[in-house]
Copies of this chain bind each other. A is one copy, B any other.
Amino acid sequence: MNATNITWHENHVKRDEREKLLSQKGLTIWLTGLPSSGKSTTAFTFEHELIKQGHLAYVLDGDNVRHGLNNNLGFSAEDREENIRRIGEVALLFADAGIITITSFISPYRSDRDRARKIHDDKGLHFIEIFVDTPIEICEDRDPKGLYKKARAGELKGFTGIDDPYEPPVNPDYVLKTAEKSPELLSLELIEYLINNGLLKD
A interface residue numbers (CB < 8 A to B): 1-8, 11-13, 17-18, 21-22, 36, 38, 40-41, 44-45, 47-48, 51, 54, 56-60, 64-65, 68-69, 72, 82, 86, 89-90, 92-94, 96-99, 119, 142, 144, 178-183, 186
Contacts and interface: CB of A to CB of B under 8 A. Distances in A.
A56 B5 contact: no
A54 B18 CA distance: 9
Pairs A-B, 3 closest by C-beta atoms: A11-B44, A69-B89, A3-B178
Contacts of A56: 18, 21-22, 56, 97-98
B179 A3 contact: yes
A84 to B, nearest CB: 12
Contact of A45 (B11, B21, B40, B69): B11
Nearest to A65: B93
Q: Do most interface residues of chain A lie in helix, strand or loop, or is the interface mixed? A: helix
Given A51-B13, A51-B18, A8 B41 contact: yes
Given A54-B21, A89-B69, A90-B69, A41 B142 contact: no
A25 to B, nearest CB: 14
- How many monomers of this protein are in the complex? 2
Contacts of A68: 89, 92-93, 119
A54 to B, nearest CB: 7
B89 A36 contact: no
Contacts of A3: 38, 41, 178-179, 181-183, 186
Contacts of A182: 1-3
23 contacts: A3-B38, A3-B178, A3-B182, A3-B183, A5-B38, A5-B142, A7-B183, A8-B44, A11-B41, A13-B57, A18-B51, A21-B51, A21-B56, A22-B56, A58-B97, A65-B93, A68-B89, A68-B93, A68-B119, A93-B94, A94-B94, A97-B99, A99-B99
